[in-house]
Amino acid sequence: MAALPVNIPTVTVHGTYVGPDARALAGTVTFSAPNMLTFPDSDLFIAGPVVAVLDENGRFEVKLPATDAPGMNPSGWAYVVKENLSGVIGGRTFSLLLPQAKPDVDLADLAPADPSTPNYVPVAGSQVLTGAGVPASTLGRDGDFYTQYEATTFLGVTSTTVTMWTRTAGAWIKVGDGIRGAAWYINTTTTPSVDTRPGDILLRSDSGDIWQRGASGWGSPVGNLKGPKGDVGAKGATGATGAVGAAGPQGPKGDPGNGSVNKVNNKLGPDVVLVAADVGAVAAAEKGAANGVATLDAGGKIPAAQLSTPAGVVTSVNTKPGPTVTLTAADVSALAATARGAANGVAPLDAGSRVPVANLPDLAVPDEWAPADLGLKAWAFDPATAMSSPAYTGNGTLRFVAVVVRETVSVSKIAFHFGGYSEKLTAGSWAAIYTTAGALKGTTADMVGVAVVPGVHNAGGATVGAALTAAVSLTPGVYYVGFVFRYAGTDGPMLLQLENAFGAPPNVFGLTPVKRFGVWAGGAVATTAPATIDPASIDNGSNRFWVGLG
């Protein structure tokens, strides 16, 4: 069996059809691509449907070009699949994508199960898997979901964390962070952060401190269950006067007073509790509070949050608060730069202020043959419109042909279609590309011998690409291709040409000075491409030859 070139990716499709009683069905499955697929890099056209015949087991297998093969023209299409099964009424017809990323597929995994939606082709999984650990890379298929349940016990509190995963492009991707409610812990010693989650609460029963777990650990206490010592109670009523006892003997003389304090700031002892107001101070609770006092930061300055905003000072831009504001295109009702040339975005303009062909709708793209369809970047005219008889260019005659470049391209060769010639070119033969102002853009090496332009001897001729000494980038516009062939004897190259019944057809056809075909009338022909030419010296010739750019 013949095989496609190795540089064309293929997908092997197989399937099995049986009846309800497990008997093998007979019939065919037809895969239809666009009428003509072109693979320029392989010099290959592929056309026609592929009909797979079910074998005695009701099975078929067929190898087809991938629908996303690189360099294929057209692109962005799908196979139309038609099932023709003996004894089965109403065979299905549906569309099918065969991307090269999945080189072997079973049609039962891809074909629609509901005939009422024939163009729906599922290509991903839809299972919901569960487990206690991270999902293995070999588990499931693209489109599947995985729920990870992870249970931990810390300080007597058991918590379960739920983490969601989804499989995309052959790998499991975590969907957000793990889901788990906050937990309270009670401890009397330094508590590690491991096995806890941000948002958890810790109570130190020995000190009354309350901690809340942050992203990096417990941090510092956020509060304390023990309040400040309460105020002193009111002085009780004076008790009744006791009876006077008998006078006792006079005791020894007492020691001088020891200076004990009975009252502080007019508050009686023995236990005196003072507050900030008792000593004319500001309470610590008023630091940074409304109607209190301002705080100072580590640099000894008042924080910006405690400063009032003067009139006329900008504090936000497009509702985004300062001091540092970053706006996006959407914030100013604009399109992002990435929307340029993207789907649902805006069309770009090329260097000539025109919309590139790639961004035009299908109706705006001509349906006739274009240079790219034959592996070229530009040409003088569609070669199918040329005469079937080629013509000589003349020995040592410098010819010019204009070509149109529609979009910026890189050109590395000048193409000629020779009807045939057997002798080698001699020194001083060259071809070059000029602007319409006469500036040289690129040139071939001397085409002496057969290294640059080989002889052509086959029926119908052949297209020959003469390589430039270096590739050149051409922006949209009109360019002149100049060429001169020198050869010994009379058998020189014969080129493809248009009809020339006028004998010396004009080379200016419109209302601009652009000359499409012509011959050099500016004196002696140089043996190498000049750095500049005078377009006014391009005169009418007796032929209109074809050239292309590749």
Sequence spans of domains, the chain = 10-110, 128-179, 371-549
pLDDT (tens place) for every residue of the chain, 550 residues total:
568 888 899 999 999 999 999 999 999 999 999 888 999 988 898 998 999 999 999 999 999 999 999 999 998 889 999 999 998 887 888 888 999 989 999 998 875 534 344 443 444 445 678 888 899 988 877 777 788 888 888 887 887 888 888 888 789 888 766 666 678 888 888 788 877 888 889 889 888 889 898 888 888 998 898 766 777 777 777 777 766 656 556 655 545 555 567 778 888 877 888 888 888 888 888 888 888 888 888 888 888 778 776 666 777 888 888 778 898 988 888 888 988 888 888 888 887 677 887 777 754 556 789 999 999 999 999 999 998 889 999 999 999 999 999 999 999 999 999 988 777 899 999 999 999 999 999 999 999 988 888 888 888 889 999 999 999 999 999 999 999 999 987 778 999 999 887 777 778 888 888 889 999 999 999 999 999 999 999 998 889 999 999 9
Helix (H) or strand (E) holding 187: strand 184-187
Sorted by sequence, the CB contacts under 8 Å of residue 226 that are 6+ apart come out as 208
Buried b (16+ CB within 10 A) or exposed e, 131-159: eeeebeeeebeeebbbebeeeeebeeeeb
**Architecture label for domain 371-549:** Sandwich (2.60)
| Token reading at 230 | 């309460």
Q: Are 486 and 506 in contact (CB under 8 A)?
A: no
Whole-number Å distance between alpha carbons of 518 and 541:
5
Domain 10-110 and domain 371-549, same fold? Reply is no
What's the fold here for domain 10-110? Answer: Immunoglobulin-like (2.60.40)
- Closest-CA residue to 55 (of 18, 90, 22, 20): 18
Kindly report whether the peptide bond that precedes residue 270 is cis, defined as omega within 30 degrees of 0.
Answer: yes
Q: In the Cβ-directed half-sphere of 195, how many Cα atoms lie within 13 Å?
A: 13
